[in-house]
Amino acid sequence: MYQRSKELREVMKQADALTPDEQLRLIAHLTQKLRNCEIKRKPRRKVTEFAGIAPNLLGGMDAQEYVTRMRRGEFPDLEIAEKQLRKEE
């Protein structure tokens, strides 16, 4: 869900107070205005772009092993934190 600006919330509140005919005219106005605009979309990202972006968060542990152990009630994140502390010493 996106965050609505204060201005958008105010306009929406005002639009709710309009009659149905006025709302349709507002929609027609906005539609016509948008036909003349170029809407730029965010570029799609490839999953491979994220490879290595956060290395060693699992302390070398395989991600599937980590998930499996978490589901069993084990706490591999504590082991990882301990390994990192030992490295810093």
Angle (nearest 5°) at CA 85 between 82 and 87: 110
Buried b (16+ CB within 10 A) or exposed e, 30-63: eeeeeeeeeeeeeeeeeeeeeeeeeeeeeeebee
Residue boundaries of the structural domains of the chain: 6-35, 57-88
More confident residue, 80 or 72: 72
Across the range 54-75, mean pLDDT stands at: 78
More confident residue, 53 or 45: 45
* pTM summary value: 0.41
